[in-house]
């Protein structure tokens, strides 16, 4: 493993994107970054620019208004890039599913690497999801899995509700 891959797995930088909703997951994500829970002890740092981020942490359902902005931010991230969906809204769009302006969960727009369920998820769950994602990144690079390319950002067909 070369120096760049080692640094990417030991110190991933995240960017947080809130697509809407009640902001409960946002508060929990910020709480995970505070000294009480200290997500930075694992080397995970919150960045303000998608050009410096390795992981896109998304909270809230994908609305029609924010969908193109979310894709634009995803495309601005350097390769390899990973996505984590935080909260029930980001995973499935619920309780806003079937609303006129809600497209659904994040996986209706692009592939998601990790899911953190809960409404809102506890900071411990967010930290656990981040750690598991970094372990998957490390294992994927050690086993030579292919890195995601930009063609995988094409829109997936919308899921039908049960």
- Measured N-to-C along each axis, helices 3-10 and 123-142 cross at an angle, to the nearest 10 degrees, of 160
Give the integer Cα–Cα distance in Å for 102 and 1. Answer: 42
The predicted model scores a pTM of: 0.83
Helix (H, G, I), strand (E, B) or coil at 115: strand
Tell me the average confidence (pLDDT) per consecutive run of 10 residues in the chain, 162 residues long.
Answer: 74 90 88 91 90 93 92 93 93 86 89 93 93 86 53 47 41
The CATH code of the domain at 3-129 is 3.40.50.12280
Cα dist from 153 to 70, 108, 123, whole Å: 11, 10, 28
Omega into 95 within 30° of 0, i.e. cis?
A: yes
Helix (H, G, I), strand (E, B) or coil at 39: helix
Note the pLDDT of residue 143: 54
Is residue 106 within 8 Å of 58, Cβ to Cβ? yes
Give the integer Cα–Cα distance in Å for 9 and 112. Answer: 18
């Amino acid at each position: 493993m070369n120096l760049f891959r080692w640094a990417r797995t030991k110190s991933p930088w995240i960017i947080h994107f809130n697509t809407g909703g009640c902001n409960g997951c946002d508060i929990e994500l910020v709480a995970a970054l505070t000294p009480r829970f200290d997500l930075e002890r694992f080397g995970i740092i919150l960045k303000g620019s998608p050009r410096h981020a390795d992981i896109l942490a998304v909270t809230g359902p994908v609305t029609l208004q924010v969908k193109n902005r979310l894709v634009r931010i995803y495309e601005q991230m350097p390769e390899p890039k990973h996505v984590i969906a935080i909260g029930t809204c980001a995973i499935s769009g619920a309780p806003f599913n079937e609303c006129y302006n809600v497209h659904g969960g994040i996986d209706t727009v692009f592939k998601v690497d990790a899911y953190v369920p809960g409404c809102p998820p506890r900071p411990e769950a967010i930290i656990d999801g981040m750690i598991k994602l970094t372990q998957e990144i490390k294992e994927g690079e050690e086993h030579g899995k292919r890195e995601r390319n930009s063609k995988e950002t094409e829109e997936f067909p919308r899921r039908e509700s049960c």
